[in-house]
Structure 1
């Protein structure tokens, strides 16, 4: 009869007489697979011989191996690989009562041993930590928010300083001073002279509108200080021109008779006209 390996589909011609009624375990020579094969009739059933003629005994295994093959049988067996001694004893009738471990049991025991070994040493290997994708998304979101905040703080720095005046120094420290008034001083110069024998300090300069819209012109405050920063004398000047057109400029001039000695530093800044009125009232 012919049996076929269920793993690699390799066929073998074997003698069905060597198989017990419940089948037996066999191993494939090609892929080493072990399966339980059951004997079945691969050829038409032959009628039993007449009673007066005894059927010849089945040939021994050695005779079957050395038996010359001819015709279709030789052609069929040339396509199948010889099974030979690859039949695995499963403890059937041919085992002669031997209850020893079969090859299939050995394979199962080896697999169980490998599984126990893998389970025992599973925690000894290096651990790989996987970062959650959600963490990267959160980091990107936070970074984007910070970047957007920095861009907004730079673009709207005038509004920030107007709301939080203390941040003006921070912007100046990083090289982006904030000018809320939209006006700048230009060509400021000072000189000393004598009029009727009295020393006079003369200060001249320009006021520039750096915005693209008309800006109000505030009052000017002049302060004379020492090298150490101590203020010696201060006065104000209120220009007659009250507004300045875009990109326009205007001049100013003030004089101080008998300036104090030791006044080596001049500080000039804008101030609100209403504030000047309050200071004069005090």
Structure 2
């Protein structure tokens, strides 16, 4: 006899001797549904089998039999191998972005290292570097070895300030005026003096020394500040000479007549 699953409609061949008149619980191996199967009406009730019967498989084209509480194999289905997922396409945005970031990093590093040369060629960039905490020496000159010493000059107190100017560039640079300022404890200028250094043209890598005197320094001075002041209006010191120029020689004059050293006239 043929049994059909009420859930998935899968059909199975079953020996009639396995199904009594009172019915029997069977299980579909395809969907797992259970139901009570009965013999076809009108058929005589078969005698119970003396022992369990082994249900043989149906012909090749027939559906498989269903055994009691046994898992029946469903009809074979042809499975297709799933197509491999498509490979994700790489977007060119990421490599381009990384390249731009690398170029910006290299450019920023070069700008930091060469900021003095850049500021020398383009002075307007100096405030930009200073705003980001990278001061720029646009002059190419540095003041070093500043020292001060109090003393007296003509009976008046005087503060003598000395130091050196060094050229850090590869070309000669003209030194601007130097200003010496005395500051109080609050950083306010209480006295100062500016002067143009001697031999203001400083060759590449060379050093020039300066000396300034500040008369009557106030007693409230606490700090000393020495810096270049290109806007200071000062007169260049007159050139000094170690020797005094001799007066021009006088012209020779004849001796008066009657002088004992006068020569006699000859015709």
Which residue of 2 is the match for residue 250 of structure 1?
A: 208
In the TM superposition, residue 111 of structure 1 has moved relative to its aligned partner by 4.5
Which residue of 2 is the match for residue 261 of structure 1?
A: 219
Which residue of 2 is the match for residue 169 of structure 1?
A: 130
Which residue of 2 is the match for residue 106 of structure 1?
A: 75
Which residue of the other structure, out of 131, 146, 149, is the alignment partner of 1:188? 146
1:201-212 correspondence to structure 2 within 5 Å: 201-212=159-170
Count of residue pairs the alignment pairs up? 164
TM-score relative to the length of structure 1: 0.49
Change (3 A) 1:192 1:168: farther
The answer to whether structure 1 residue 156 and structure 2 residue 88 are counterparts is: no
Q: Secondary structure at the match of 2:107?
A: helix
Which residue of 1 is the match for residue 183 of structure 2?
A: 225
The answer to whether structure 1 residue 146 and structure 2 residue 115 are counterparts is: no
In the TM superposition, residue 170 of structure 1 has moved relative to its aligned partner by 5.1
More helix by share: 1
In the TM superposition, residue 264 of structure 1 has moved relative to its aligned partner by 1.2
4+ residue runs over 4 A deviation: none
Partners in 2 of 1:187 and 1:151 — Cα distance?
A: 31
Q: Secondary structure at the match of 1:277?
A: coil
TM-score relative to the length of structure 2: 0.52
- Contact 2:192 2:214 (C-alpha < 8 Å) held by counterparts: no
1:197-247, Cα deviation, whole Å (9 max, x unpaired):
321111111111222221112111111111221111222111232311122
Partners in 2 of 1:130 and 1:170 — Cα distance?
A: 46
In the TM superposition, residue 134 of structure 1 has moved relative to its aligned partner by 2.0
Change (3 A) 1:198 1:131: farther
Indicate the RMSD between aligned Cα atoms, in angstroms: 3.5
Q: Secondary structure at the match of 1:139?
A: helix
Which residue of 1 is the match for residue 60 of structure 2?
A: 88
- Contact 2:126 2:138 (C-alpha < 8 Å) held by counterparts: no
Which residue of 2 is the match for residue 277 of structure 1?
A: 233
Segments of structure 2 that go 5 or more residues without pairing to the other structure are 1-56, 65-73, 235-267
Partners in 2 of 1:164 and 1:243 — Cα distance?
A: 25
Q: Secondary structure at the match of 2:219?
A: coil
Partners in 1 of 2:105 and 2:175 — Cα distance?
A: 37
Change (3 A) 1:192 1:222: same
Q: Secondary structure at the match of 1:187?
A: strand
- Contact 1:160 1:167 (C-alpha < 8 Å) held by counterparts: no
Segments of structure 1 that go 5 or more residues without pairing to the other structure are 1-84, 90-99, 119-128
The answer to whether structure 1 residue 137 and structure 2 residue 83 are counterparts is: no
- Contact 1:232 1:260 (C-alpha < 8 Å) held by counterparts: yes
